[in-house]
Structure 1
Amino acid sequence: MAQTAGVKPIAIAGRVASERERCLGMTDAERAWRKQWLKDQVLASNEPVHVEEYWKERTNPIRRFYRKPLDVLFNKLTPMLGVQRAADYRYITGKLGLAAVGVLAIHYYFKYSGNDWTKKGGWRVTRTKPMVLPGQPGFPYKSQRTKDSDFADRGYSNSLIFDSK
């Protein structure tokens, strides 16, 4: 959902937000309003305030659960690293962790659940014929499949059924 929930945002700075507009001339009321507006933009020394109960109400319990380990780790590192650097490292660590889990999941899938002759489903990974041009070694390319039955083999001929023990 958009930050304004579908309502057009209103510029609270008004006409005097643009330097060009201010140079055209401002009334005394506009000058006083701009002075007060600039004062209001200065944050207090304790802002922004982190209210734990507000954060808990706004976030999903599942999200809080999977964020907890890195939150605990980087809360302990914050005095050494600083608030901003600890937040940056926490973000990067989380994203790299998710990427590593994704890579490991893909590796596991293709190692143990790939498509072969024993399964109906799964992604079938095939290799295309290499491009061998005239003058290159291996031209003309000859397939390693010698019989017609080799083309739809899907690992059947390498199975334990054919062991002669």
Structure 2
Amino acid sequence: MAQTAGVKPMTIAGRVALERERCLGMTDAERAWRKQWLKDQVLAANEPVHVEEYWRERTNPIRRFYRKPLDTLFTKLAPILGKARAQDYRYVTGKLGIIAVGILCTHYYFKYNGNDWTKKGGWRVIKTKPMVLPGQPGFPYKSERCVDSDYAERGFKKSVI
């Protein structure tokens, strides 16, 4: 759903939001309205108010579950670090944790699910032949594979079976 629920957005500041419009002249009613509008922009000492029930209703239970450990930790650290710094550290810690889990999952996958002769699936990781230019040692490049059976053997000759 759109932010305005299909209704065209309208500024509540009116025509006196722009300094140029105010310089053209304002009526007494506009002056009173502008004075009240400026007063309304000042937040009270207890704002913004965090309503726990509102947050709970708007967030997914799964999201609340996986955020709970870091929320608990950084709620306890907030008096020491300060509220803003604790929120920043919580954000960075969460993102670094997700990156670390992604790296570990990728490492696990490539370590234990490689494509070899025992399975049909898995990603096949192959090395390209090195670039050897004329005048460099090892030119012309000769492959380590001696016979045709060495190609596409996918680790069969190294198996202990």
**Do the structures match in fold with TM over 0.5?**
yes
The unaligned stretches of length 5 or more in structure 1 are none
Which residue is equivalent to 1:148? 148
Return closer, same or farther for 1:23/1:138 CA change in 2, 3 Å cut-off: farther
Count residues with an aligned counterpart: 161
CA distance in 2 between counterparts of 1:29 and 1:58 reads: 40
What residue identity is the alignment partner of 2:147? K
- Are residue 135 (structure 1) and residue 139 (structure 2) matched? no
Matches within 5 A, 1:35-114: 35-114=35-114
What residue identity is the alignment partner of 2:45? S
User: Any idea what the Cα deviations from partners look like across 1:54-97, whole Å, max 9, x if unmatched?
Assistant: 11111111111111111111111000011111011001101100
SS of the equivalent of 1:160 reads coil
Return closer, same or farther for 1:149/1:46 CA change in 2, 3 Å cut-off: same
CA distance in 1 between counterparts of 2:116 and 2:7 reads: 55
SS of the equivalent of 2:157 reads helix
Percent same amino acid at aligned positions? 81
CA distance in 2 between counterparts of 1:21 and 1:147 reads: 87
Report the TM-score, using the length of structure 2 for normalisation: 0.90
Task: Please report how far the alpha carbon of residue 25 of structure 1 lies from its aligned counterpart in structure 2 after TM superposition.
Answer: 3.7
The unaligned stretches of length 5 or more in structure 2 are none
Which residue is equivalent to 2:124? 124
Report the TM-score, using the length of structure 1 for normalisation: 0.88
Alignment RMSD: 1.7
Return closer, same or farther for 1:112/1:29 CA change in 2, 3 Å cut-off: same
What residue identity is the alignment partner of 1:124? R
Task: Please report how far the alpha carbon of residue 2 of structure 1 lies from its aligned counterpart in structure 2 after TM superposition.
Answer: 4.5
SS of the equivalent of 2:120 reads coil
CA distance in 1 between counterparts of 2:31 and 2:142 reads: 84
Task: Please report how far the alpha carbon of residue 32 of structure 1 lies from its aligned counterpart in structure 2 after TM superposition.
Answer: 2.5
Return closer, same or farther for 1:144/1:45 CA change in 2, 3 Å cut-off: same
